[in-house]
Amino acid sequence: MNHRPLADIHGYRGVEFGVFERGHDDWEWTYYPKVGTGVKTQGSAKGNREAAVAACKAAIDAWLGPPNSN
């Protein structure tokens, strides 16, 4: 049986991430690169969960650069 990496299932561009509500409309996001490829990075976002996810994905895009277009 072939198992997909967790980041492919619960991540973005192969990077695992999470968003956590700190308070009303106050969110913290964190992404976790694979060991040896980067460091854990955190940030915050105001609004709803979708805004926090979008902010985290934007940070991952900034770190990785543009996706490869095939």
pLDDT (tens digit, 9 = 90+) per residue, 9-19?
Answer: 568 998 999 99
- Asked if pLDDT for residue 28 goes beyond 70, the answer is yes
Look at residue 35 in the predicted model and tell me its pLDDT.
78
Residue 6 DSSP SS3: helix
Look at residue 34 in the predicted model and tell me its pLDDT.
82
Of 46, 45, 37, residue with least CA distance to 5: 37
d(CA 9, CA 6): 5
d(CA 26, CA 67): 29
